[in-house]
Amino acid sequence: MIRVIKLNKSFNGKQILENISVTFETGKTNLIIGRSGSGKTVLLKSIVGLHEIDSGEIWYEDILFNKLDFAGKKKIRKEMGMLFQGSALFDSLTVEQNVRFPLDMFTDNSLEEKIERVNFCLKRVDIINANKLFPSELSGGMKKRVAIARAIALNPKYLFCDEPNSGLDPITAILIDALIKELTEEYSMTTIVNTHDMNSVMEIGEEIIFISDGVKCWEGNKNDILNSDCGTLNDFVFANSLAKKLRALNK
């Protein structure tokens, strides 16, 4: 479980996140949704410690993460996996070397054991016969899958996904969403997903928070989201004409 309490973050005097408090449950796919520029990525990067926060608390179970020193954070980070918006695979390494990277860094396993684990993770995300390919030779969807395989290589307790299906076609996007949900349940991880894709919200949104202009405006699940009273949330959810028609029909 991850708890965020009264988090504030600003860049060069400009307030980006204001008084955000939220709890992300273990074994669930927790979604942070909002428009582009609303502060979702800053919130996610603040939670994982890539951004220093101005004030507030970030708790991983009973450990106050934001007050830890580099060594303390490093310990927690070994239990994190993160999928970045652009996949962030290492260009100079092959698929196999990318997934093996955290294993090389933090385990004393033999090469055979590490390759076995790599193959297991790649198979788990449906990547077969691509071990020797470089990231530049992969499609967008494959890159995301390899990045997920790398993120789960060390059996993390926490999985963070920043816009996991941006730039993907709707079918691949649904497959990636389904994979994230499956892995979350399978390994009982605390998963946090940043997205502005309503398909993802309706597919995997077990716990959802909506952020607008750096402020948490709404909290609930995918069943509540269509019946919310929050005006900014409704503008976001029913932004496209298809959604508007469906709401009109529903009424």
Partner 1 sequence: MIKFLTQFGRYFLLLKKVFSKPEKPVLYYKQTLRELVYLGLNSVGIIAIISFFMGAVITLQTAYNTENPIYPKYLIGLGCRDSMILEFSSTIAALILAGKVGSNIASEIGTMRVTEQIDAMEIMGVNSASYLILPKMIATLIFNPVLTLIAIIVGIFGGGIAGTLAGVITTENFIYGIQYAFIPYYIVYSLIKTVFFAFIITSVSAFQGYFVNGGSLEVGRASTKAVVYSSVLILLFNVILTQLLLS
Q: Report whether 45 contacts 194 (CB < 8 A).
A: no
185 CB contacts (<8 Å, ≥6 apart)?
27
Torsion sign over Cα 58, 62, 64, 68? negative
97 binds partner 1 (CB under 8 A): no
In the list 4, 20, 43, 82, the residue contacting partner 1 (rule: CB under 8 A) is 82
208 contact partners, CB below 8 Å, separation of at least 6: 30, 31, 32, 33, 201, 218, 219, 220, 221, 222, 225
Q: What is the CA radius of gyration of the chain?
A: 19
Span 229-248, contacts to partner 1 by CB under 8 A: none
Among 40, 77, 144, 157, binds partner 1 (CB under 8 A): 77
Residues 124-163 that bind partner 1 (CB under 8 A): 154, 160
Contact positions with partner 1 (CB under 8 A) in 101-130:
101-102, 104-106
**In 153-207, alpha helices (H):** 170-187, 198-204
Interaction pattern, residues 28-67, with partner 1; x per rule: CB under 8 A: -----------------x--xxx-----------------
Q: Which of 86, 132, 199, 246 binds partner 1 (CB under 8 A)?
A: 86
Q: Which residues bind partner 1 (CB under 8 A)?
A: 45, 48-50, 73-75, 77-78, 80-82, 84-86, 88-91, 101-102, 104-106, 154, 160
